[in-house]
Structure 1
Amino acid sequence: MQLLSVIKSRKLTPEQLFMVSVLAVNGGNYLYNLILGRVLGPTQFADAAVLITFLLVLSFMAMTFQLVTAKFSVLFENAVFTNFIAKVYKQAFTVGVILGLLIIAFSSQLKALFNTSSSTMFVIFGCGVPLYFLMSVNRGAFQGKKAYKSLSITYQGEMLSRLIITLGLIFLFNIQSSAVIAIGIVLSFVFGMFPFKMKDLTLKKTKPLSLDYSKQIKNFFLLTAFYELTQIIINNSDILLVKHYFESYEAGLYASLALIGRIVYFIAWMFVMLLLPAVVELKKEGKETASVLFKYVGYIAVISIVIVLTCLSFPELIIKILFGEQYIAMAPLLWKYAIATSMFAISNIFAYYYLSLDKYVPVIISGVFGMLQMLLVIFFHESLEQVVHMQIIAMTLLLIIQLVFFKLEIRTQKNALSKD
């Protein structure tokens, strides 16, 4: 009782509240995937994994708009911000419509490419794409203004609605098709829109931003878009390539491995959400920013070590509890996959830190190693174990190069200060 009274008496900061919320959202998303894995079995879960991977790819693409909105929500105020946010909404919706139509138009080709049982799931998914882009701009505004309560609500609404709607359709109507999963995903975008400020979304012609502002936005947008592309390659190419090269049963087994192993990356993402506005604000005020980086890198390093050691010590128990006996073949690879995602999660913090400071070299480094990972899997995929080994090689090299770049940057800054 004393512990409860202490917790109640201690008021959480908005940042702490958001971190708790993100952990809850990740837990809900994990529960969603775990239940699907158990209910559908490896073969059918392979189709579901393709849709979930498409959702992750979409989230990374839309994240470009979210991060641009977040950064300039910190920098812009009053009328400039109003014009900026209206313009971003229009651009995001246009991109979403084009991308959604492309997915619908090439649904049959996507079915053949990823060996799925139906093309309908791609058609349904394509219909929801424009809404997801609008939702991401809305989140970017909350993130930049540090409105973490509203930001938490949007993520919780998306997660809870997807969990309830999808599982409700499966269990109530006993429908276990990929189309049901696609419907649940699309409807969750609707709930993820709330809270939403309708006044920021206008059809009226907005006033053009100054040339200097437009140039800043364009440069950061292109830089962020390129980095999010590397995120797509690193995070999702392995699942899609495995689905292409292996049978559905093996692809389903690998999807379960990837889901468990990526927990460290999903935890790391909440620190990235807090990192960007904090670094941009400190830079705006002329203060040092490295201490923020060190704090979050330390958090991720500790979490990574704990997860890798847990996966190494109790792989079969983890697989049995989360997915069941039918996925037990993946137990020996669990800790290895966790190492790969841990290397990526830590290097990702460095990349987003420099992205916040408008430095592009780490972004290019991530792009190079993202392509390296994909090429290694394309040329070396005799077994699922070999696929995991290729990722460990690529991600370890990526982290080493990011650390070397950071050290060189610190040395350059010190030399510049000594000359002054």
Structure 2
Amino acid sequence: MTLSNILIKKISPERLFMGSALLVNGGNYLYNLALGRILGPEAFAEAALLITLLLVLSFVGMTFQLVTAKFAVLFSEEDYAHFQNTIYSYALAFGLAIGTMVVYFAPELQTLFRTQNSGMFIIFGIGIPIYFLMSVNRGKFQGFQDFGRLSFTYQTEMWSRLGITILLLVILPFEPSILVALGIGTSFLFGLVPIDIKQVRVFTKNRLSKEKTKKVLQFIGLTAGYELTQIIINNSDILLVKHYFDAMDAGLYASLALIGRVVYFVAWMFVMLLLPTVVQKHKDGEPTVPVLSKYIGFIGLLSFGIVMACYMFPEPIINLLFGEAYLSMSNLLWQYALATSLFAVSNIFAYYFLSLDHYVPVILSGILGISQVFLIIIFHSSLTMVVQIQIVVMIALLVAQAIYFLSKSLK
């Protein structure tokens, strides 16, 4: 037996997935950094808009992924087969509806975000149905804790997006935003791998019973509500900055957001592990709080380290990652990292309760997410004010989630 085989057997599937997730996050960072350096601040603002729309799409897709993961744990083999047919048809129908809307309103989106063309939105919209099918496929792997294939689908999407986008920018003399959109859309096809086409039955009469369908729809509504708050909190600042500020400031802010969000993207891999574990333990009648405590500890330590690094070495970090053109954002780096860290920790609380079908954290996140949007709309005289508003809102969100957790624990 070779040394590599011995190491693989000793490493748990969860640790393999965490290592893969770190690699995916590193690749996504490399993708963003490459675009920032190749395009410069002004052109990067449009590329960052597409990346932000991709993040918005990922949150919507996460609804289908988490729903699939949860019921893969709860349903019997026969019920899951019927459920899979149902969720694939939902995902395709919803993807076609959203994709058609994005394509149809592409000229309006161009005006709203002050981009050079509308073609970038058309290309992006065409890829949306594929992304939702990919999300269901990932949810299946997540629920059955098949972390090998789950890792592979993230790897294929990320590396194809990186390679294809850079190649297109180097060899084709077209508008950069069009090429970035093509790279993103093509990567969705690669992200479908691996998928068992034979098991996908979108058009079939074999469906879940009405009672089980009702449970699925209730959880879809609960999850969709929370993912909507994620979209608002995690992406509204970039979209509003793109609307209210000029291209240079929007590009600089996008670079700041990319660096400051590193803790959130790392926290995402813990969410992938947390949900099926909590659902299974709750199903088996085992305590779930230790799982939450473990992940809160991981994210808390990680957040503290990243915020301190951004506070002590802001200029070297920005210069290394994006270059001298972006150094004017150095004084805001630790503040943005702090806001993102607070959100990442509160997010662990929210997904924990989402696994247990509690809706109050969704309402709390929605209220504070909408508050953040209105505060930025009212107070946006500077980028500093935009960042500090987020810190205040995220402190309030974390305190609210912690109070709700304590009240449930005491009961």
Per-residue deviation, residues 52-79 of structure 1 (Å, max 9, x unmatched): 0110001111111111000000111222
Query: Is the Cα–Cα contact under 8 Å of residues 279 and 356 in structure 1 kept in the other structure?
Result: yes
- Tell me which residue corresponds to 2:123: 124
For 1:324 and 1:102, locate their aligned partners in 2 and report how far apart those are by CA, in whole Å.
37
- Tell me which residue corresponds to 2:60: 61
Q: 1:173, CA displacement in angstroms?
A: 3.2
1:175–1:321 Cα change, 3 Å: farther
Runs of 4+ residues over 4 Å off in structure 1: 4-7
SS at match of 1:352: helix
Alignment TM-score, normalising by the size of structure 2: 0.97
Q: 1:155, CA displacement in angstroms?
A: 0.2
- Tell me which residue corresponds to 1:415: none
Q: 1:176, CA displacement in angstroms?
A: 5.2
Query: Is the Cα–Cα contact under 8 Å of residues 85 and 206 in structure 2 kept in the other structure?
Result: no
- Tell me which residue corresponds to 2:356: 357
Identity of aligned residues (%): 56
Give the residue type in structure 2 aligned to 1:330: M
- Tell me which residue corresponds to 2:337: 338
2:316 matched to 1:306?
Answer: no
- Tell me which residue corresponds to 1:219: 218
Give the residue type in structure 1 aligned to 2:119: T
For 1:271 and 1:381, locate their aligned partners in 2 and report how far apart those are by CA, in whole Å.
33
Q: 1:170, CA displacement in angstroms?
A: 1.1
SS at match of 1:358: coil
For 1:392 and 1:335, locate their aligned partners in 2 and report how far apart those are by CA, in whole Å.
11
Give the residue type in structure 1 aligned to 2:218: N
- Tell me which residue corresponds to 1:251: 250
For 1:89 and 1:411, locate their aligned partners in 2 and report how far apart those are by CA, in whole Å.
40
What is the correspondence of 1:311-322 to structure 2 with a 5 Å cutoff?
Answer: 311-322=310-321
For 1:203 and 1:274, locate their aligned partners in 2 and report how far apart those are by CA, in whole Å.
28
Q: 1:199, CA displacement in angstroms?
A: 2.1
Stretch of structure 1 that moved more, 8-17 or 379-388? 8-17
For 1:93 and 1:211, locate their aligned partners in 2 and report how far apart those are by CA, in whole Å.
21
SS at match of 2:201: coil
- Tell me which residue corresponds to 2:143: 144
Query: Is the Cα–Cα contact under 8 Å of residues 86 and 202 in structure 2 kept in the other structure?
Result: no
SS at match of 1:359: coil
Quote the RMSD (CA, aligned, Å).
1.4
SS at match of 1:288: coil
Query: Is the Cα–Cα contact under 8 Å of residues 37 and 323 in structure 1 kept in the other structure?
Result: yes
For 1:183 and 1:159, locate their aligned partners in 2 and report how far apart those are by CA, in whole Å.
14
Per-residue deviation, residues 349-391 of structure 1 (Å, max 9, x unmatched): 0000000000110111011111111111111100000000000
Give the residue type in structure 2 aligned to 1:309: M
Give the residue type in structure 1 aligned to 2:116: S
For 1:198 and 1:231, locate their aligned partners in 2 and report how far apart those are by CA, in whole Å.
31
What is the correspondence of 1:90-129 to structure 2 with a 5 Å cutoff?
Answer: 90-129=89-128
1:36–1:9 Cα change, 3 Å: closer
For 1:391 and 1:133, locate their aligned partners in 2 and report how far apart those are by CA, in whole Å.
30
Give the residue type in structure 1 aligned to 2:377: I
Q: 1:211, CA displacement in angstroms?
A: 2.9
Unmatched 5+ residue regions in structure 1? 413-420
2:238 matched to 1:239?
Answer: yes
- Tell me which residue corresponds to 1:135: 134
- Tell me which residue corresponds to 1:418: none
What is the correspondence of 1:153-172 to structure 2 with a 5 Å cutoff?
Answer: 153-172=152-171
Query: Is the Cα–Cα contact under 8 Å of residues 40 and 176 in structure 1 kept in the other structure?
Result: no
Q: 1:208, CA displacement in angstroms?
A: 3.2
Q: 1:9, CA displacement in angstroms?
A: 7.4
For 1:248 and 1:163, locate their aligned partners in 2 and report how far apart those are by CA, in whole Å.
24
For 1:12 and 1:110, locate their aligned partners in 2 and report how far apart those are by CA, in whole Å.
47
For 1:288 and 1:8, locate their aligned partners in 2 and report how far apart those are by CA, in whole Å.
31
Alignment TM-score, normalising by the size of structure 1: 0.95
Q: 1:202, CA displacement in angstroms?
A: 1.6
- Tell me which residue corresponds to 2:367: 368
Query: Is the Cα–Cα contact under 8 Å of residues 232 and 370 in structure 2 kept in the other structure?
Result: yes
Q: 1:204, CA displacement in angstroms?
A: 4.1
What is the correspondence of 1:167-178 to structure 2 with a 5 Å cutoff?
Answer: 167-173=166-172, 175=174, 177-178=176-177
For 1:339 and 1:410, locate their aligned partners in 2 and report how far apart those are by CA, in whole Å.
27
Per-residue deviation, residues 161-202 of structure 1 (Å, max 9, x unmatched): 000000011123355510000000000000000000112212
Stretch of structure 1 that moved more, 26-35 or 74-83? 74-83
Give the residue type in structure 2 aligned to 1:391: Q
Q: 1:269, CA displacement in angstroms?
A: 0.3
Unmatched 5+ residue regions in structure 2? none
For 1:19 and 1:369, locate their aligned partners in 2 and report how far apart those are by CA, in whole Å.
30
2:31 matched to 1:32?
Answer: yes
Per-residue deviation, residues 290-345 of structure 1 (Å, max 9, x unmatched): 00000000000000000000000000000000000000000000000000000000
1:288–1:184 Cα change, 3 Å: same
2:82 matched to 1:77?
Answer: no
- Tell me which residue corresponds to 2:387: 388
Give the residue type in structure 1 aligned to 2:234: N
Query: Is the Cα–Cα contact under 8 Å of residues 57 and 232 in structure 1 kept in the other structure?
Result: yes
Q: 1:203, CA displacement in angstroms?
A: 4.4
For 1:268 and 1:239, locate their aligned partners in 2 and report how far apart those are by CA, in whole Å.
20
Stretch of structure 1 that moved more, 328-337 or 369-378? 369-378
Give the residue type in structure 2 aligned to 1:212: E
- Tell me which residue corresponds to 1:208: 207
Query: Is the Cα–Cα contact under 8 Å of residues 254 and 384 in structure 1 kept in the other structure?
Result: yes
SS at match of 1:207: coil
SS at match of 1:194: coil
2:192 matched to 1:193?
Answer: yes
For 1:210 and 1:272, locate their aligned partners in 2 and report how far apart those are by CA, in whole Å.
30
SS at match of 1:196: coil
